Structure 1
Amino acid sequence: MADNGEMRKPKHKSATVCGYPISIFFIVVNEFCERFSYYGMRAVLVLYFKYFLKWDDDFATTIYHTFVALCYLTPILGAIVADSWLGKFKTIVYLSIVYALGQVIMAVSAIHDITDSNKDGTPDNMTFHVSLSMVGLILIALGTGGIKPCVAAFGGDQFQDHQEKQRSTFFSIFYLSINAGSLLSTVITPVLRAQECGIHTKQKCYSLAFGVPAALMVVALIVFIVGSGMYIKTAPQGNILVKVCKCIGFAIKNRFRHRSSQYPKREHWMDWAEEKYDKLLIAQVKMVVKVLFLYIPLPMFWALFDQQGSRWTLQATTMNGDFGALIIQPDQMQTVNPILILVLVPIMDSAIYPLITKCKLNFTPLKRMTVGMFFAAIAFVAAALVQLQIDQTLPKFPSNTEGQVKFINMVEEPVPVKAGVNNFTLQPFEANEGYLTFDDIFTLDLNGTGYPTSLVDGNRTTIVIIKDGAKLRPEGFTDIKSKPEQGANAIRFLNGHRSVLNVTVGNEDFGNILTNKMSEYVDVPQGQAKFRIINNEGKECLYTQKLGFGSSYTLIIPPTFSFEQNCAESIRSVMDISPNTVHMAWQIPQYFLITAGEVVFSVTGLEFSYSQAPSNMKSVLQAGWLLTVAVGNIIVLIVAEAATLEDQWAEYILFASLLVLVCFIFAFMAYFYTYIDPAKVEAQFAQKEPEDKEKRRSLEMTRKDSVERSNEQRRSSDSSSDEEENKQAKM
């Protein structure tokens, strides 16, 4: 087989540091940058879908999990390309270029000024941004998935046979670089996203949040190429995964070809491959198939686990992220997972597992995995409980057949109000408490004057009572009908002053507000907001108000407002939507449970797969393991679309129930599993291999002799028939 330009030894003698090849430095840095790039982009992805592309929660979740599924399907393609064609080094380089290009395209797609923008700063040509985003995500999925099975294996290739200890340490450092990249990126990219950027209009800076990971991916590629001359590059030897698939395919085809009862039954269905493949390979495939069978229920765990980046992040947008000294962004809550991994892995290995062993409990790997799945199910029950608390704090918005109304008195005297069957008195520059709901036309009575009032179905309205000469009259303004997004606060001003006023907060401008008119809503972030109120003469008043997350206020500037003294004290604040009151800290228990489940399930699962895999087929089981992650994300799409549950907490309970059911199925399958030592099995068949080859050669010779005799008999029969026909013709 051609080596495609690959060299087994480096061009230059690689230096060593403390017994380690210096070439692994480039590989570790490459992995850190690549994982920073991937997890940083993924941390803000679902929010990008919802708030930039304006997709709803369900569609944003669907595309998010489709992308993740693709990222875990492409490793199979990468492994085949590397082992059968290009080799690991070239595969990593070429697919990293594709990867970096995808990240750059994502960054460009998030520049909202690249096309014309609407008044709110959202792109006008949304089709362009969506198309560019999809191209970017496909390239990223191909790149990150394609290099996934290659980088760690390429790092292992840099060590000689006598460096087994150093190789083991390298894999620990490699795993640490993955978690370090993940942790830092999920802290930094949400901060970048929260910044405001733009040339013509200001908006959340998703282009920067994608641009920095793109830059890190370019750095990863450059660092990896710089070390090229120091690497040991093994030539592609053919992909064992392809060979396994061919062996299984031949066994199935051969079995169905010989369905008749005249052929003796065989102990295992893979034994039908004996006509073409040696018994050692068949025995190895049997071991692989045995483990792969146990993988069947595993995707359900990943279906829950990967919702940290979708449903749980969206849940955090409706919560309070004020931790005192820190303000946590919704997408930053994902950092809890890598932090807990770094804490829990050593605790489990050094304390929990030894304690269980001391108690003489037979806590086998498959039992650990079952417990891990159960932890994940409990985590989703915890998420459902948190969601119930959130739902209780959310305002009741109108349905499609009803409207809601609030009244504000802008008259300098109390006003009795009768709205339908509701009677109350409004004090000057005050609003009634809460919204009133109507499903039909009602009469609004103001001091004996009736006004037939019709509300727009599905909308909220504020009716301002003003004085028109000696008469009171209502004037309506449309309110927002949903919680402000991304934890922002929707603020507007009602100007009762006798002159036109201009209001600004930070870089945002409410514009010139006419007398007895309402401004547009402006999104103001959490914290101490400072509003500057200016009249045409240049006089200024500074009003401050502390804002939480997800609230909406109407700030009333009364007719008595004066710039001369205590101007801020005369401004009245009316709460239209209360701020988020459920704290993000309540998500920590569910993150703890799912991370504990991950540590017990994932780490143990990889260890179990490695211990039960034949020496030359560990990559096959690795590909199978990654495939379970992809299928898990597909399950999210299927369940979410099929269930169509209105309440999010009910969907959480549904996923938890499905995983509990799968737990019992997996426990039942694990009960009948027999642990093996692949090395012993391989040794037994290796001793018999020459004998098996001789038998197979003898069988092949016998088969050929049989075929030749059969052909000779047919030719002899044909010849006899021809002679008989000639005789008859002569007669």
Structure 2
Amino acid sequence: MAGKEEDKKQKKSKSAAVCGYPISIFFIVVNEFCERFSYYGMRAVLVLYFKYFLKWDDDFATTIYHTFVALCYLTPILGAIVADSWLGKFKTIVYLSIVYTLGQAVMAVSAVSEITDTNGDGAADNMTVHIALSMVGLILIALGTGGIKPCVAAFGGDQFEDHQEKQRSTFFSIFYLSINAGSLLSTLITPILRAQKCGKSSDSCYPLAFGVPAALMLVALVVFIVGSKMYIKVPPQGNIMVKVCKCIGFAIKNRYRHRSSRFPKREHWMDWAEEGYDKLLIAQVKMVLKVLFLYIPLPMFWALFDQQGSRWTLQATTMTGDFGLLTIQPDQMQTVNPILILLLVPIMDSAIYPLIAKCKLNFTPLKRMTVGMLLAALAFVAAGLVQIEIDKTLPDFPSSSQSQAKFINMLDKPLQATAGENDLTIQPFKASEGYLTFENDLDLITPEANFSFALNSSSRYTVVIFPDGVSKDALQFPDINKKPEQGNNEIRFLSGYSSLLSITVGSLSFGNVTSNNMSEYRSVPQGEAKFVIKDDSGNECTYDLTLGFGSSYTLIIPSTFTFGPTCKDSINAELDISPNSMHMAWQIPQYFLMTAGEVVFSVTGLEFSYSQAPSNMKSVLQAGWLLTVAVGNIIVLIIAEAAKLPEQWAEYILFASLLVLVCIIFAIMAVFYTYTDPAKIEAQFTDMEPEDKEKRKSVEMAKKDRRNSDSSDDDEEKRTQTRM
């Protein structure tokens, strides 16, 4: 016994070294920073990876994104049970961190575009490999990040002795600061990594964007293991969640067994567990169930909140991120949330709440949570209004029964033409203004000749009229019929030059463009683009074009083009799709409302849950709280798949309306909720006089005898039913 006490003292002395704080907590804080960097960094670019690398549409990308987030918040229950019942917190963190690191590595490998096509079946099988690896990686990550979530903070708290309450409180502040720091930095950095060019044909570097988080997760694992000998490792002592579930199950089963009228009714249905469980535990379970009942409407808040990483990021891809000295990527707009959290939390605590208290308003926790839900609904109304304005700036693309065409005159004189019922006058080496819409095939009448073109529905075309003797027919070229992706610009060249031209911009090549022909589209990022045009003789011309976000151009090189100092002046840039004109700054109000709602709702909700939970069941309510996040993401899947609204703004308003409805229900539930003091209730069972305890013991013995008698009666009843 003395040896054990000595070992205990030795363990504690190892971890108490710097300014009264255990050295071990520094390993835990660094581990948490790296892990949160890894998770949020990967998640920041995830929906764009689905859309632009795996080529999924917006709805399916959103569905898989929220499925992944839901899994991340379902697995903490599994992690808590494993840690408390079998492995202990330390081993659980280590083993699941290994799984986590493997998942991040698999995600990085899945994004490598040069994965070998072993079947020889081409791109389709190649993409199947990418998708399969991505799904395996995400499952491993969800298991890892969710499994360690309930363990790391609690493991950090285990490092302190009872007299270090102040240091423990400071540790948790530093711990949560490391979470926000990791989230903020990763959300800033990984979109920059994604925007780099890597590989032969990719205009985004997802292997790098996933690889750096994988490396940070490996660092987190190594740092955590390095501190192993310094940790105080509390052995598993049984999981309270399992005990609570068994108690509830026993009460339900016992109530069902004794459903006949000869058994008197009890004040609460949990009282039916008295035959098998202690009254203190039953009272604690009652308090937990009372709070969990209030949790029922809460998932709707998270259904809106987590769309910041999916729908709102996709919305940002249709906007411009030019802030002057700084250019923001669509996925970097998510950094507004952690920045505002760091600003709003102290403002709320030191200014807003004290001001409300001075006004003598009873702003209870449940009222705060109600306000938070309303703010989130307003955020989605703001997002809907922004989407309406974005839709006004989008091109009018052809419907399923229509096609569109525009015309380019490569003659050295103005061209009079009739396209369907439209009369056109097109200047030399210029395009007609805007696209014309056609219900059927196109008949083009010019002074030189008449042409007929078959146009596919929902498609856009450019029809080019060349000089006599060059082509007997005008040529039609397919155009893109959607906004360029990721805010890039789709550029192509039309050459009337008499010989072959080689055209590049940076490391991107348009190939060799032949005379009287059109190049393929190439995606060029925002900013100053320098196009280098060369011929077979080595002559060179540089053409500069300032590009915004999401535009499309056809650059016309006329037959009169000559190399020289003024060569660029003869090149005409025809705008096919206008650049994004709505600025990403318009998303800031919706982010502000959502973050304000999060601060009022989430922080208050956690405090409320902690204050209303029994002393030994804080983890049960924490698991319940995380479960509401998972259910919220499942709600997104259901609504996104069921609603199928044609307009995105309508979906935003639908979510806002549903949250307002749920908010009303929650407000009514809050009115009937009675705040309790768990310590006082627990004291009723723990501070009894000796004679009360003796009496209680006698009562329990009597109940045991009655239970045995009831069991005999039940057995007799079963035998009777069998005979019948």
Q: Which amino acid aligns with 1:328?
A: I
Residues in 1 aligned to 2:174 and 2:711: alpha-carbon distance in whole angstroms: 62
Q: Is 1:690 matched up with 2:679? A: no
Residues in 2 aligned to 1:638 and 1:410: alpha-carbon distance in whole angstroms: 53
Per-residue CA deviation, residues 442-484 of structure 1 (Å, 9 max, x unaligned), is: 4211016322332121111100111123998421111111111
Equivalent pair of 1:446/1:472 in contact (CA under 8 Å): no
TM-score of the pair, normalised by structure 1: 0.94
CA shift in 2, pair 1:463/1:8, >3 Å? farther
CA shift in 2, pair 1:330/1:710, >3 Å? closer
1:541 corresponds to which residue?
A: 541
CA shift in 2, pair 1:561/1:470, >3 Å? closer
Q: Is 1:699 matched up with 2:702? A: yes
Residues in 1 aligned to 2:43 and 2:685: alpha-carbon distance in whole angstroms: 47
Q: Is 1:668 matched up with 2:668? A: yes
Q: Percent identity among equivalent residues? A: 74
1:10 corresponds to which residue?
A: 11
Equivalent pair of 2:525/2:547 in contact (CA under 8 Å): yes
- How far does residue 358 in structure 1 lie from its aligned partner after superposition? 0.3
2:137 corresponds to which residue?
A: 136
Per-residue CA deviation, residues 410-439 of structure 1 (Å, 9 max, x unaligned), is: 100011011111012111111111100101
Per-residue CA deviation, residues 127-155 of structure 1 (Å, 9 max, x unaligned), is: 11111111110000000000000000000
Trace 1:583-662 onto structure 2 (pairs within 5 A). 583-662=583-662
Equivalent pair of 1:318/1:390 in contact (CA under 8 Å): yes
Equivalent pair of 1:275/1:696 in contact (CA under 8 Å): no
2:526 corresponds to which residue?
A: 526
Equivalent pair of 1:8/1:234 in contact (CA under 8 Å): no
Q: Is 1:499 matched up with 2:499? A: yes
Residues in 2 aligned to 1:470 and 1:246: alpha-carbon distance in whole angstroms: 86
Residues in 2 aligned to 1:40 and 1:709: alpha-carbon distance in whole angstroms: 61
Trace 1:346-361 onto structure 2 (pairs within 5 A). 346-361=346-361
Equivalent pair of 2:115/2:126 in contact (CA under 8 Å): no
Q: Is 1:677 matched up with 2:680? A: no
- How far does residue 686 in structure 1 lie from its aligned partner after superposition? 1.5
Q: Is 1:182 matched up with 2:175? A: no
2:436 corresponds to which residue?
A: 436
Q: Which amino acid aligns with 2:603?
A: V
- How far does residue 196 in structure 1 lie from its aligned partner after superposition? 0.7
Q: Is 1:127 matched up with 2:128? A: yes
Per-residue CA deviation, residues 625-666 of structure 1 (Å, 9 max, x unaligned), is: 000000000000000001010100000000000000000000
Equivalent pair of 1:116/1:123 in contact (CA under 8 Å): no
CA shift in 2, pair 1:536/1:253, >3 Å? same
Residues in 2 aligned to 1:434 and 1:427: alpha-carbon distance in whole angstroms: 14
CA shift in 2, pair 1:472/1:672, >3 Å? same
SS at match of 1:261: coil
- How far does residue 499 in structure 1 lie from its aligned partner after superposition? 1.2
Residues in 2 aligned to 1:36 and 1:640: alpha-carbon distance in whole angstroms: 29
2:721 corresponds to which residue?
A: none
Q: Which amino acid aligns with 1:467?
A: P
Trace 1:30-69 onto structure 2 (pairs within 5 A). 30-69=31-70
Residues in 1 aligned to 2:496 and 2:708: alpha-carbon distance in whole angstroms: 107
CA shift in 2, pair 1:709/1:148, >3 Å? closer
Range that drifts further, 447-456 or 32-41 = 447-456
- How far does residue 257 in structure 1 lie from its aligned partner after superposition? 1.1
Residues in 2 aligned to 1:147 and 1:470: alpha-carbon distance in whole angstroms: 70
1:223 corresponds to which residue?
A: 223
Residues in 2 aligned to 1:566 and 1:708: alpha-carbon distance in whole angstroms: 102
- How far does residue 697 in structure 1 lie from its aligned partner after superposition? 3.6
Trace 1:87-98 onto structure 2 (pairs within 5 A). 87-98=88-99
Residues in 2 aligned to 1:73 and 1:471: alpha-carbon distance in whole angstroms: 65
CA shift in 2, pair 1:565/1:658, >3 Å? same
Equivalent pair of 2:500/2:535 in contact (CA under 8 Å): yes
* Aligned Cα root-mean-square deviation (Å): 2.1
Residues in 2 aligned to 1:461 and 1:7: alpha-carbon distance in whole angstroms: 79
Per-residue CA deviation, residues 146-179 of structure 1 (Å, 9 max, x unaligned), is: 0000000000011111111111111111010000
Residues in 2 aligned to 1:332 and 1:708: alpha-carbon distance in whole angstroms: 64
CA shift in 2, pair 1:21/1:415, >3 Å? same
Figure out how many residues of one structure are paired with residues of the other and give that number: 705
Per-residue CA deviation, residues 258-304 of structure 1 (Å, 9 max, x unaligned), is: 11111111111111111111111111000000000000000000000
Residues in 1 aligned to 2:299 and 2:672: alpha-carbon distance in whole angstroms: 20
Q: Which amino acid aligns with 1:454?
A: A
Trace 1:352-431 onto structure 2 (pairs within 5 A). 352-431=352-431
Trace 1:128-167 onto structure 2 (pairs within 5 A). 128-167=129-168
- How far does residue 667 in structure 1 lie from its aligned partner after superposition? 0.2
CA shift in 2, pair 1:250/1:263, >3 Å? same
CA shift in 2, pair 1:316/1:441, >3 Å? same
Residues in 2 aligned to 1:571 and 1:442: alpha-carbon distance in whole angstroms: 28
1:195 corresponds to which residue?
A: 196
Residues in 2 aligned to 1:226 and 1:365: alpha-carbon distance in whole angstroms: 41
Trace 1:295-310 onto structure 2 (pairs within 5 A). 295-310=295-310
CA shift in 2, pair 1:259/1:472, >3 Å? same
Trace 1:255-404 onto structure 2 (pairs within 5 A). 255-404=255-404
Equivalent pair of 1:505/1:531 in contact (CA under 8 Å): yes
SS at match of 1:467: coil
Q: Is 1:28 matched up with 2:29? A: yes
SS at match of 1:440: coil
Q: Which amino acid aligns with 2:698?
A: K
CA shift in 2, pair 1:51/1:704, >3 Å? closer
Per-residue CA deviation, residues 482-504 of structure 1 (Å, 9 max, x unaligned), is: 11101000000000111111100
Range that drifts further, 12-21 or 180-189 = 12-21
CA shift in 2, pair 1:173/1:23, >3 Å? same
SS at match of 2:528: strand
Unaligned runs of 5+ in 2: 718-724
Per-residue CA deviation, residues 20-57 of structure 1 (Å, 9 max, x unaligned), is: 11110000000000000000000000001111111111
Q: Which amino acid aligns with 2:702?
A: L
Q: Which amino acid aligns with 1:226?
A: V
- How far does residue 708 in structure 1 lie from its aligned partner after superposition? 11
Equivalent pair of 1:115/1:123 in contact (CA under 8 Å): no
Q: Which amino acid aligns with 2:404?
A: Q
